[in-house]
Amino acid sequence: MEGVDYLADERKKTEFDVEEMKIVWAGSRHTFEVSDRMAKLVANDPVFRKDDRVMLARKDLFKNTLRKATYAWKRINELRLSEEEASKLRSFVDEPAFTDLHWGMFVPAIKGQGTDEQQKKWLPLAYKMQIIGCYAQTELGHGSNVQGLETTATFDPQTDEFVIHSPTLTSSKWWPGGLGKVSTHGVVYARLILDGQEHGIHGFIVQLRSLEDHRPLPGITVADIGMKFGSGAYNTMDNGLLRFDHVRIPRDQMLMRVSQVTRDGKIVQSDVPRQLVYGTMVYVRQTIVQDASIALSRAVCIATRYSAVRRQFGSSNGGPETQVIDYKTQQSRLFPLLASAYAFRFVGEWLKWLYTDVTQRLQANDFSTLPEAHACTAGLKSLTTSVTADGIEESRKLCGGHGYLASSGLPELFAVYVPACTYEGDNTVLMLQVARFLMKTVSQLGSGKPPVGTISYMGRIEQLMQCRCAVKKAGDWLNPNAVLEAFEARAARMSVSCAQKLSKFSNPEEGFAELSADLVEAAVAHCQLIVVSKFFEKLQQDIPGKGVKRQLEVLCGVYSLHLLHKHQGDFLATSYITPKQASLANDQLRELYSQVRPNAIALVDAFNYTDHYLGSILGCYDGNVYPKLYEAAWRDPLNDSVIPDGYEQYIRPLLKQQLRVAKL
């Protein structure tokens, strides 16, 4: 059976050039080649084996992660990998570790919020991993409300130092990844106090552990916060707690790009906005959007391949049963997720561009696009992680009973992914930020300042409030202008409706709180519009390869029309479409599913995932699922012996007791 491709017939049905689609998915030929090389490097190295992860107890699991992370760093240096290659390699190791926070947050925080001198001092140490850092913001009592953090940093002019202190139990830092057992340093967020006066939240570089023996420095209490959801999963990470008892650090360890504290204890604001203290979160939210397409595509790849292998019902005259992927219900659950994975890939690509653009502008003291960048990163992080977490769970259900096995890879993928809905900003809290941005935009309409970027459609508000959908037959829904106008009109009308209701409240904050559920819906509509419009923009690019663009057009149709179908209440309630037009959209959607069907396997092959990275028997490339499931069952430690441990102690006496009862 070895070497047989059970999905070969499926692959023969493909109507497009898969190799070219791989380049589109990766973003460029260069990125594809780097990813492919790094994925294979990891897959072929036994040190990076991960199939035993869910069986390991916490201490073994954690030590194993330390071993892998250290080995990865050794390979990165031996092979002299570039930053891009190293980051790819780490992502294919596919195990949350302290290095994620070191490279993903500690280094960016210093880069974004440190002065040139601070960067010169700290970054070389961090780049060589001579210090290991974490991002210590959240506390036991406050996460979302950053202004509510309680840790204090009080300037002592006598010694030219800050005194970092945890005044209450709820001020204990709680959650930072890498903090519990590994980090030697942290960027710690605390309330700045100068001469008895508070000056808001700022970041400070604080050494936590000795570089000699790794013991916590005097005044520091640090530990892991304990087991988290699922087996394996995020338990490879040492999320930590941290308390300070009047810990002293030199004045120059406050990150001073946004505000400086002078030798005599005065605060000087530079001309950059104070929101730049939140800059690391903007950066990470943008990377999380890119990661969403990866997590979702992994789940979809598993569910699609397995749906083509799995057969149930429909056999006549002893012929084969129906592949479950041929059931329209399966398609209507699976194909929108496949289309969403592609949609998130493209919006992630665009968001990376937006982030680079805003960073360059900030360097030139142009802060005008910062509010939009904040709204886009917050909103898209919220939208894509929510859909991805739900999509992984739906993929598990699409695999029936076998999806519940750890060897399907889906339970661990869900457990490791789902906190993305919470970390880096709770998804509801972030959508409320988008809503604030929308309400501000609506209130400024007509002020002479035309809305730009993702909000420019609001500049056509009068037209969008009045227009009616022109669709007459199902095929009209393939017209990008028809779809875009529908999403724009829905988003604009929902925002305006909220703004009108808000204007009736004498206290705007009270109104905002009262209407917050409606506001979140308006923000979701706006974010979905962004994703749809970026998909259409992608289709405007030159996309080579036989049939590739055509497939992407089909997926774009699936993405937008499934949203239109799912949220038809919004489109109907805002009176843009009629019930008949909603029904035509659904007819067109069904037709598009038929076009996806023959290409489904090739569309997931284009993700170019190795079997190692997928970590799923159900999703393996050759589709040889059943023998692999059978063999994996025998590898479970419970099957090491025929008679289980505990038989003598529990089962035997129980059976004997039943026997005695039966005899009576």
Ligand X SMILES: Cc1cc2nc3c(=O)[nH]c(=O)nc-3n(C[C@H](O)[C@H](O)[C@H](O)COP(=O)(O)OP(=O)(O)OC[C@H]3O[C@@H](n4cnc5c(N)ncnc54)[C@H](O)[C@@H]3O)c2cc1C
Is residue 618 within 8 A of residue 325, CB to CB? The reply is no
Query: Phi, psi at residue 562, to the nearest 5°?
Result: -70, -35
**Pick 136 or 254: Cβ nearer ligand X:** 136
* Separation of alpha carbons 455 and 488, rounded Å: 10
Annotation marks residue 424 as catalytic: yes
Q: Which residue has the tokens 């913001």?
A: 137
- CA atoms 575, 580, 584, 586: torsion sign: positive
Q: And the tokens for 31?
A: 């990125």
**Pick 267 or 543: Cβ nearer ligand LV4UQ37V:** 267
Binding mask 160-189 for ligand LV4UQ37V (x = CB under 6 A): -----------------x------------
| Site residue total, ligand LV4UQ37V (CB under 6 A) | 28
Contact flag: residue 443 with ligand LV4UQ37V (CB under 6 A): no
Q: And the tokens for 179?
A: 């903090």
Contact flag: residue 7 with ligand LV4UQ37V (CB under 6 A): no
Closest CA to 590 of 387, 310, 329, 311: 329
Contact flag: residue 282 with ligand LV4UQ37V (CB under 6 A): yes
Is residue 441 within 8 A of residue 451, CB to CB? The reply is yes
User: Which of the stretches 42-50, 426-434, 437-445, 539-547 binds ligand X when contact is defined by CB under 6 A?
Assistant: 426-434
Contact flag: residue 304 with ligand LV4UQ37V (CB under 6 A): no
Q: Which of 43, 55, 125, 429 binds ligand LV4UQ37V (CB under 6 A)?
A: 429
Binding mask 111-150 for ligand LV4UQ37V (x = CB under 6 A): ------------------------x-xx----xx-xx---
- Dmax (CA) for the chain in angstroms is 94
* Residues of the chain by 3-state class (helix, strand, coil), percent to 5: 60, 10, 30
Contact flag: residue 570 with ligand LV4UQ37V (CB under 6 A): no
Q: Which of 180, 409, 425, 619 binds ligand X (CB under 6 A)?
A: 425
Query: Phi, psi at residue 429, to the nearest 5°?
Result: -60, -40
Q: Which residue has the tokens 């055509």?
A: 550
Contact flag: residue 143 with ligand X (CB under 6 A): yes
* Partner from ligand LV4UQ37V, ligand X, none binding residue 428, C-beta < 5-8 Å depending on class: ligand X
Q: Which residue has the tokens 């204890």?
A: 265
Residues in 374-403 at the binding interface with ligand LV4UQ37V, rule: CB under 6 A: 374
Catalytic residue among 150, 372, 424, 485: 424
- The residue nearest ligand X at its CB is 143
> Shortest approach of ligand LV4UQ37V to residue 54 CB, angstroms?
20
How many CA atoms are closer than 13 Å to the CA of 73, on its beta-carbon side?
A: 18
Contact flag: residue 367 with ligand LV4UQ37V (CB under 6 A): no
> Shortest approach of ligand X to residue 426 CB, angstroms?
4
In Å, what is the CA distance from 483 to each residue of 77, 340, 475, 576, 615?
50, 16, 12, 11, 38
Binding mask 99-118 for ligand X (x = CB under 6 A): --x-----------------
Q: And the tokens for 416?
A: 């490791």
Q: And the tokens for 65?
A: 């992660």
- For residue 114, give every residue at least 6 positions away whose Cβ sits within 8 Å of its Cβ, in sequence order, or none: 122, 255, 256, 257
**Pick 145 or 315: Cβ nearer ligand LV4UQ37V:** 145
User: Which of the stretches 64-72, 401-409, 424-432, 445-453 binds ligand LV4UQ37V when contact is defined by CB under 6 A?
Assistant: 424-432
Q: Is 27 annotated as a binding residue?
A: no
H or E element, residue 295: helix 279-309
> Shortest approach of ligand LV4UQ37V to residue 287 CB, angstroms?
4
User: Which of the stretches 41-49, 325-333, 378-386, 421-429 binds ligand X when contact is defined by CB under 6 A?
Assistant: 421-429
* Partner from ligand X, ligand LV4UQ37V, none binding residue 270, C-beta < 5-8 Å depending on class: none
Contact flag: residue 306 with ligand LV4UQ37V (CB under 6 A): no
Query: Phi, psi at residue 401, to the nearest 5°?
Result: -60, -40
* Partner from ligand X, ligand LV4UQ37V, none binding residue 282, C-beta < 5-8 Å depending on class: ligand LV4UQ37V
What angle do the packed helices 548-566 and 18-26 form, to 10 degrees? Answer: 60
Closest CA to 41 of 97, 69, 95, 79: 79
User: Which of the stretches 171-179, 241-249, 361-369, 604-612 binds ligand X when contact is defined by CB under 6 A?
Assistant: 171-179
Q: And the tokens for 543?
A: 């996309």
* Partner from ligand LV4UQ37V, ligand X, none binding residue 239, C-beta < 5-8 Å depending on class: ligand X
Q: Is 5 helix (H, G, I), strand (E, B) or coil?
A: coil
* Separation of alpha carbons 239 and 565, rounded Å: 41
Q: And the tokens for 572?
A: 């109907």
Contact flag: residue 69 with ligand LV4UQ37V (CB under 6 A): no
Binding mask 321-360 for ligand X (x = CB under 6 A): ----------------------------------------
In Å, what is the CA distance from 283 to each residue of 289, 370, 444, 522?
10, 12, 28, 24
Contact flag: residue 236 with ligand LV4UQ37V (CB under 6 A): no
Taking CB atoms within 8 Å and a gap of at least 24, the contacts of 467-472 are: 467/576, 468/575, 468/576, 469/576, 469/577, 469/578, 469/581, 471/577, 471/581, 471/584, 471/585
Q: Is 138 annotated as a binding residue?
A: yes
Binding site for ligand X (CB under 6 A): 101, 135-138, 142-144, 175-177, 234, 239, 419, 422-426, 428-429, 432, 516
Binding site for ligand LV4UQ37V (CB under 6 A): 87, 100-101, 103-104, 135, 137-138, 143-144, 146-147, 177, 275, 278, 281-282, 284, 287, 370-371, 374, 423-425, 429, 433, 436
Which residues belong to the active site? Answer: 424
Annotated binding site for FAD: 138, 177
